[in-house]
């Protein structure tokens, strides 16, 4: 006998008619648990429904199952998933919709009443309708259980499971199926909610990506690009335009999604007037125009794209803009507009940053050029690394320095005393790649021969009587840097030989030592002696000369530097103004003339000393006048001018013959000697003072004394 069991109705004592139907509780609990995990990993509704149906059919021992959900109209039950259906059955199940009004079947009845139906004999049950019979015959249903899928009192669909054979349902089995049905309902509900929010989630994901892109750029074009791309996606629009007004410059930027440009040709200008853009700009509020609105005479900016939204984009007070979206059909949801608003606000911040950045970098650039200009001016004033000079000869020398500084070649600087040889050597070091390392200078004229050797090469303890401790030589000390050997012409011949060997081998041994120490030093040599003549005379090694003079630099005497003299003189006036707290404005023209006529044997050093003397001793007014200039400069300048050369001539008759070189040597030697003696007299034998009087260095004085055979002379 068959029975209909309805919820709330009479439930007869359970009698099993088929032993094939039993519940494995363990399996069931696992199934319920598995279903609940679907909640946390939502995928598509179909996918989840399929899995649930599998669980219900398998764990309860049914043969087949189907889930039907109500469609949007809530009138049709539509097959969503089937279990264990043949292809033909499945095809039919998916193609037939059960209409709640038209079809009277167990399915529609359960959906309408929200009450389950358990049929033990699907074909013979008295409630079976024509429709049921057809369905049942086709799918060969023995016993069927129909449960509603409900969210609270709202039916959303049904689940039907059945066995081929007839069976009886036990009340607890019914409870279990209903529990499953409840779970299914919840999961469907959640999945639906997720689906409904999917759009929103997608929008937020686009927004998130856009914001992170916006934050990583300072390029206005890139900001336009990101804004347009993301806005089109979020608004599901087809057309976008960014209208951007530079209030100060009264320019309009446009980016219509295809290109960005300044609208100076007024391509868009006129058209924009009649769109919603001015309204959005003026009201500073989001302005929407639906596809059917004709209100306010606003004309769509993009033809045929009648559904528009304009979102104001405000960057401080200087810039005002609008993002406009256009779409052919449909409307913008409030959700879309909210997300678009957030997007535009973010873009505005990025605009602000980008503008700030470009202004700052513009300022940085102009500051840099300003600094460069100052530097240039300073360079002109100061020549090069404090070497003043604008004359052709000096500028040529600056070029050479720049050229050679970077290479490690040996450099020989020649020039009269006071021409700036040391200054140049320091400039070369500073300009070189070694400028972070030491610059070591050694004056070969100031250190006696053997001492110079140990100074340069160093010694081991016990190398000679006084050598108590090992001493590192200057060649080692200068390692990595530059060694400036001044007055190289004064190096003794034995040391010249040893030095040459070092240059050739590239290593040294300390005195009394065996260890070979490699030398990594850049050499600059200087002398005011005529080395090539010394080579000719045999007092300087020719091979060494060629070694050291790879790049010769010859500094011109001051008298050959034209206007550099005045430049230097003015510079020293400034320097001593600062030093002595004076306010001398410059040098009077006539005084300048006198300085120009003088021959400056002591070159720049002499000039510096003279200016210093004038500034300390003379009562200088606003300008240095001829009266302020020491008489020896004036008279010598005059003498130079009208020099009575014949007075000095050793040749007295046309028959007399002399050795020219010797005569010149003697004559100049005599003059030198007289000057040196006089200077020493005046300074009471103090060599430092005498050197100062002559505007030469102390070493130069000693050297000069040597030349005239007065080196042994006492003095300090
Ligand atoms: N072109 C220049 N611009 C500015 N100052 C200079 C210039 N030339 C030389 N001087 C200054 O003149 C003085 C002498 O320069 P330096 O000692 O370099 O000359 P030098 O050729 O080595 O002389 P000496 O042969 O006597 O050793 C220094 O005070 C230096 O600063
Ligand atoms: Mg010098």
Does 369 score more than 60 pLDDT? yes
Distance 425 CA to ligand 2 centre (A): 9
Q: Is pTM, for the whole model, over 0.95?
A: no
High-pLDDT (> 90) share of the chain, %: 37
Average pLDDT over residues 503-515: 91
Which one of the ligands is nearest to 698 CA? 1
Residue of higher predicted confidence among 572 and 49: 572
pLDDT of residue 644: 42
How many angstroms separate the CA atoms of 286 and 688, rounded? Answer: 88
Helix (H) or strand (E) holding 76: strand 76-83
Residues with CB under 6 A from ligand 1: 383, 387-389, 415, 417-423, 528, 568, 604-605, 608, 696-697, 700
Q: Whose CA is nearest to atom 24 of ligand 1?
A: 417
Report CA-CA distances (Å) from 307 to 168, 255, 288, 302. Answer: 61, 19, 8, 10
Task: Pick the closest to residue 696 from 602, 568, 557, 555 (CA basis).
Answer: 602
Taking the centre of ligand 2 as the mean of its atom positions, its distance from the CA of residue 411, in whole angstroms, is 15
Q: Which ligand does the CA of 418 lie closest to?
A: 1
The domains spanning 4-196 and 217-358 adopt the same CATH topology = yes
CA angle 183, 185, 188 (to 5 degrees): 110
Report the atom number in ligand 1 closest to the C-alpha of 394. 1
**406 or 246, which is more confident?**
406
For the stretch 639-655, pLDDT in tens is 544 444 444 565 656 66
Indicate whether 9 pLDDT > 50.
Answer: no
Q: Among 10-14, 257-261, 351-355, 477-481, whose mean pLDDT is lowest? A: 10-14
pLDDT digits (tens, 9 = 90+) for 259-283: 777 777 677 777 888 889 988 988 9
In this predicted model, what pLDDT tens digit does every residue of 138-168 receive, in sequence order? 778 889 999 999 988 899 999 999 988 888 8
Pick the CATH number of 217-358 from 2.30.40.10, 1.10.630.10, 3.30.450.40, 3.90.1150.10: 3.30.450.40
CB neighbours of residue 194 within 10 Å: 14
Which CATH number among 2.60.120.260, 1.10.3720.10, 3.40.390.30, 1.10.8.60 corresponds to the domain 557-641?
Answer: 1.10.8.60
When pLDDT is averaged across residues 76-87 and rounded to a whole number, the result is 92
Q: Which residue's C-alpha comes closest to atom 25 of ligand 1?
A: 417
Is 466's pLDDT higher than 70? yes
Residue closest via CA to ligand 1's atom 12 equals: 605
Assign a CATH topology to domain 656-716.
Arc Repressor Mutant, subunit A (1.10.10)
More confident position, 456 or 649: 456
Q: Report how far residue 322's alpha carbon sits from residue 276's, in angstroms, rounded to the nearest whole number.
A: 10
Domain 392-556: top CATH class: alpha beta
- At 643 the pLDDT is 43
Closest ligand 1 atom, residue 564 Cα: 1
Q: Note the pLDDT of residue 22.
A: 56
652-704 pLDDT tens trace: 566 667 777 777 777 787 788 888 888 888 888 888 888 988 888 888 888 88
Around ion ligand 2, residues with a beta carbon closer than 5 Å are 422
Tell me the average pLDDT across 403-408.
Answer: 89
pLDDT of residue 2: 40
- pLDDT, tens digit (0-9, with 9 covering 90-100), for 314-337: 887 777 889 999 999 888 999 899
Ligand 1 midpoint to CA 420 (Å): 3
Q: Which ligand is nearest to the CA of 528?
A: 1
- Token reading at 154: 């709202």
Percent of the chain with pLDDT over 70: 88
Domain 4-196, CATH among 2.60.40.420, 3.40.50.2300, 3.40.50.300, 3.30.450.40: 3.30.450.40
* CA–CA distance, 30 with 682 (Å, rounded to integer): 119
Of the ranges 18-27, 29-38, 341-350, 701-710, the best mean pLDDT one: 341-350
Tell me the domain boundaries of the chain. Answer: 4-196, 217-358, 392-556, 557-641, 656-716
The pLDDT value recorded for residue 8 is 41
Å from CA of 674 to ligand 2 middle: 23
Which of the ligands is closest to the CA of residue 401? 1
Ligand 1 atom with the shortest distance to the CA of 415: 21
User: Ligand 1, residues 412, 600, 605: which to mutate, most atoms within 8 A of Cβ?
Assistant: 605
């Amino acid at each position: 006998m068959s029975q209909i069991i309805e919820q709330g109705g009479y439930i007869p004592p359970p009698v099993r008619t088929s032993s094939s139907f039993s519940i494995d509780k363990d399996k069931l609990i696992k199934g319920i648990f598995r279903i609940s995990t679907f909640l946390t990993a939502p995928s598509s509704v179909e996918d989840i429904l399929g899995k649930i149906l599998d669980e219900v059919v398998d764990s309860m021992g049914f043969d087949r199952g189907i889930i039907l959900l109500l469609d949007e109209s809530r009138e049709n039950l539509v097959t969503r998933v089937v279990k264990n259906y043949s292809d033909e059955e499945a095809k039919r199940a998916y193609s037939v919709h059960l209409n709640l009004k038209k079809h009277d079947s167990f399915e529609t009845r359960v959906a309408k009443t929200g009450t389950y139906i358990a049929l033990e004999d699907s074909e013979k049950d008295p409630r079976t309708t024509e429709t049921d019979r057809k369905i049942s015959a086709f799918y060969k249903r023995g016993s069927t259980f129909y449960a509603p899928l409900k969210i609270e009192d709202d039916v959303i669909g049904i689940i039907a499971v059945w066995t081929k054979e007839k069976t009886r349902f036990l009340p607890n089995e019914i409870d279990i199926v209903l529990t499953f049905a409840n779970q299914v309902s919840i999961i469907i509900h959640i999945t639906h909610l997720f689906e409904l929010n999917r759009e929103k989630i997608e929008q937020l994901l686009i927004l998130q990506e856009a914001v992170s892109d916006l934050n990583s750029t300072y390029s206005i074009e890139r900001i336009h690009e990101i804004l347009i791309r993301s806005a089109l996606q979020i608004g599901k629009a087809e057309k976008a335009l960014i209208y951007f007004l530079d209030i100060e410059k009264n320019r309009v930027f446009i980016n219509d999604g295809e290109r960005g440009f300044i609208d100076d040709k007024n391509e868009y200008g006129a058209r924009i007037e009649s769109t919603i853009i001015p309204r959005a700009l003026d009201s500073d509020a989001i302005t929407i125009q639906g596809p059917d609105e004709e209100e306010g005479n606003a004309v769509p900016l993009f033809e045929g794209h009648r559904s528009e939204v304009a979102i104001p984009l405000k960057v401080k007070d200087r810039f005002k803009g609008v993002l406009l979206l256009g779409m052919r059909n449909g409307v913008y949801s409030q959700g879309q507009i909210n997300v678009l608003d957030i997007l535009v606000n973010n873009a505005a911040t990025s605009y602000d940053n980008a503008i700030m950045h470009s202004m700052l970098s513009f300022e940085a650039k102009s500051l840099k050029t300003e600094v460069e200009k100052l530097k240039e001016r300073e360079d002109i004033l100061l020549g090069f690394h404090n070497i003043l000079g604008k004359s052709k000869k000096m500028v040529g020398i600056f070029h050479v320095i720049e050229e050679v500084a970077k290479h490690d070649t040996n450099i020989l600087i020649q020039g009269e005393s006071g021409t700036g040889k040391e200054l140049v050597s320091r400039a070369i070091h500073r300009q070189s790649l070694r400028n972070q390392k030491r610059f070591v200078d050694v004056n070969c004229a100031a250190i006696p021969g053997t001492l110079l050797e140990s100074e340069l090469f160093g010694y081991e303890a016990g190398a000679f009587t006084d050598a108590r401790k090992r001493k590192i030589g200057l060649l080692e000390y200068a390692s990595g840097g530059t060694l400036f050997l001044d007055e190289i012409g004064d190096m003794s011949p034995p040391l010249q030989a040893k030095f040459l060997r070092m240059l050739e081998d590239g290593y040294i041994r300390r005195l009394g030592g065996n260890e070979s120490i490699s030398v990594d030093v850049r050499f600059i040599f200087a002398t005011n002696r005529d080395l090539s003549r010394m080579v000719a005379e045999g007092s300087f090694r020719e091979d060494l000369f060629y070694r050291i003079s790879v790049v010769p630099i010859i500094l011109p005497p001051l008298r050959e530097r034209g206007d550099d003299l005045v430049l230097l003189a003015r510079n020293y006036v400034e320097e001593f103004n600062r030093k002595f707290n004076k306010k001398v404005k410059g040098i009077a023209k006539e005084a300048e003339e006198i300085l120009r006529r003088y021959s400056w044997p002591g070159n720049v050093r002499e000039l510096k000393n003279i200016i210093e003397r004038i500034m300390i001793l003379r009562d200088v007014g606003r300008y240095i006048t001829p009266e302020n200039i020491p008489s020896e400069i004036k008279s010598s300048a005059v003498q130079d001018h009208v020099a009575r050369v014949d007075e000095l001539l050793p040749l007295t008759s046309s028959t007399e013959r002399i050795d020219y070189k010797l005569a010149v040597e003697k004559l100049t030697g005599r003059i030198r000697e007289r000057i040196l003696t006089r200077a020493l007299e005046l300074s009471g034998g103090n060599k430092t003072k005498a050197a100062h009087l002559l505007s030469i260095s102390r070493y130069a004085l000693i050297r000069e004394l040597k030349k005239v055979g007065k080196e042994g002379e006492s003095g300090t």
